[in-house]
Amino acid sequence: MPEAVGMVISSGAILHDLKSSSGSLRLRYFGPRYLTSDAIYRSNSTALLNADVGRRINKTFRVSVVFLNLLNRRDHDVDYAYVSQATPTATPAFTDVFHPVEPFQVRLKIEVTPHFRR
């Protein structure tokens, strides 16, 4: 069946509240899949590893660093195969189209937990 992923793995490990520190490691894997019913076009697999390391400063603030695409893989986030035409005068052609995953990134995250008095 086209566009049906044969294997999906989503796994992770979390360490939290260790002397106000926490961390996580998450893996997301999508196996290859056929993009057309005749199996001419097939996507590659996609594997992403993300991590998060953080520390609670006090009851209100938590700071963490998030690492996305830790292995800097150049996989595809989405794959399609269909007839496309680049310009109105171009000849239509059947091709595969994809959206790449974001490259390796580091993000700083600050979480604020408000405490209301009653």
Give tens-digit pLDDT for 20-39: 999 999 999 999 999 888 88
pLDDT, residue 17, reads 80
Token pair for residue 54? 């953080």
Residue 93 to residues 27, 86, 88, 101, Cα–Cα distance (Å): 36, 9, 12, 25
List for the chain the helix, strand, coil content (%; round to 5). 0, 55, 45
Query: What is the rounded average pLDDT of the residues 16-20?
Result: 87
Domains in the chain: boundaries: 8-112
Q: In the structure, what pLDDT confidence band is assigned to residue 115 with cuts at 50, 70 and 90?
A: confident
**Facing residues of 30 across strands?**
8, 46
Distance between start and end Cα atoms, the chain: 57
> Do 78 and 99 form a contact (C-beta atoms < 8 A)?
yes
pLDDT, residue 103, reads 97
pTM for this predicted structure: 0.81
pLDDT digits (tens, 9 = 90+) for 64-110: 999 999 999 999 999 988 888 888 999 999 888 899 999 999 999 99
